[in-house]
Structure 1
């Protein structure tokens, strides 16, 4: 993408952020557009996402990743793990929006983590680290305050594979499409579903929900 093409997406992003009531600075919005430009460039060779049009990436990847930001903020955690981050959603948009938080982007696909490292470097995201590997094999001292994932796995598997990485008072925030009734029914008995909130994402007609889960406190 050329600079002119990226700038043409600015009104679409600005309108979307206004609809979400997310006041991001001009510099943050530019970083988000730079991310889209980088993704579109790499996507031509590496097929990172099925969405190829940058104007569709704004709602489908940027706004879709930022819509649950208030849910993250309500929990108050600052150490975030994005499991199966792929090409960086929701982790990179969230990291741009909250530079005071620390994000770890985890994916088992080396091609995708190569892109993630390039994006982190190009966008100068000092609050982001990238890990290539299977989540079951990853360790983290102290655990993460929030573990999130977008289109990663069913809730029971998500919990099972990441439980060892959750801080003692941590939470899972799973980003889902339709209300996941069947997945919730399969959860372990020691998991509490605190809320399932509908998200209205500008430019995205499909349903979106964020599921907040914790381990039951005894």
Structure 2
């Protein structure tokens, strides 16, 4: 029944689904539940909720046009690997970097990558503000994704520094974000971005409407951004 949830969800999203994909998600679920007994990775422990609210939710960015594209992606504040690892499982062409500030979560993600035999994956332990100023990572990625919980203006200062000019940042948000977007537009513009599109997608098997804010990077960012660690959240750009 649970696997049927995934298969039907993929069908609804018009994404390819195979026994290999299924097996990887089963292994991922098992590792997540096992590690969650040792460290706090997620409050979601029910199998079906893991499939829907973590795995299916993560792949909402994909569609018939882009599920096979070859792009570099960084997932900022990845936590349990969402959305970065599910995106990688569905599209193995992606070159994926996952960034998180908690060492134990990176250890968990390292085991997931090993068990699922995921290639072209890099795991980084650290803060977005620090790595956003690192020339190895600054403006090097086609796409940045994040499901991290933070206001859009704060999240944009964490994420847009990683995006190439011409690339985009996809922020996974909940339903009521109109005012948040309006309040963040000036800050996003200062960071070299603009809101290009807001995707509204119903999470398969639920009545939850997920909104993904697509922010295009149209020019190089001023070197003063991102500011020092802690500053974006304590003194958000306006």
Corresponding pairs, count: 210
SS of aligned partner of 1:199: strand
User: Given that residues 142 and 164 in structure 2 are in contact (C-alpha distance below 8 angstroms), is that contact kept between their aligned partners in structure 1?
Assistant: yes
User: Given that residues 40 and 53 in structure 1 are in contact (C-alpha distance below 8 angstroms), is that contact kept between their aligned partners in structure 2?
Assistant: no
Name the CA distance, whole Å, in 2 between partners of 1:15 and 1:125. 24
Match of 1:157 in 2: 154
Name the CA distance, whole Å, in 2 between partners of 1:72 and 1:105. 24
User: Given that residues 185 and 195 in structure 2 are in contact (C-alpha distance below 8 angstroms), is that contact kept between their aligned partners in structure 1?
Assistant: no
Residue 125 of structure 1, aligned match among 118, 122, 126: 118
- The runs of at least 4 aligned residues of structure 1 exceeding 4 Å deviation read none
Structure 1 gap ranges (5+): 1-7
SS of aligned partner of 2:109: helix
More helix by share: 1
Q: Give per-residue Cα distances to partners, 1:44-94, cap 9 Å, x unaligned.
A: 2223110111122111111111122129929x6600010100001111110
The answer to whether structure 1 residue 145 and structure 2 residue 142 are counterparts is: yes
Residue 181 of structure 1, aligned match among 178, 183, 196: 178
Summarize the Cα distance change of 1:89–1:183 in structure 2 as closer, same or farther, 3 Å threshold: same
Match of 2:11 in 1: 18
Mapping of residues 187-198 of structure 1, within 5 Å: 187-189=184-186, 190=189, 191-198=193-200
Summarize the Cα distance change of 1:44–1:204 in structure 2 as closer, same or farther, 3 Å threshold: farther
What TM-score do you get using the length of structure 1 for normalisation? 0.88
Structure 2 gap ranges (5+): 221-238
Match of 1:205 in 2: 207
Mapping of residues 30-69 of structure 1, within 5 Å: 30-69=23-62
Q: Which is worse superposed, 10-19 or 91-100?
A: 10-19
The answer to whether structure 1 residue 113 and structure 2 residue 106 are counterparts is: yes
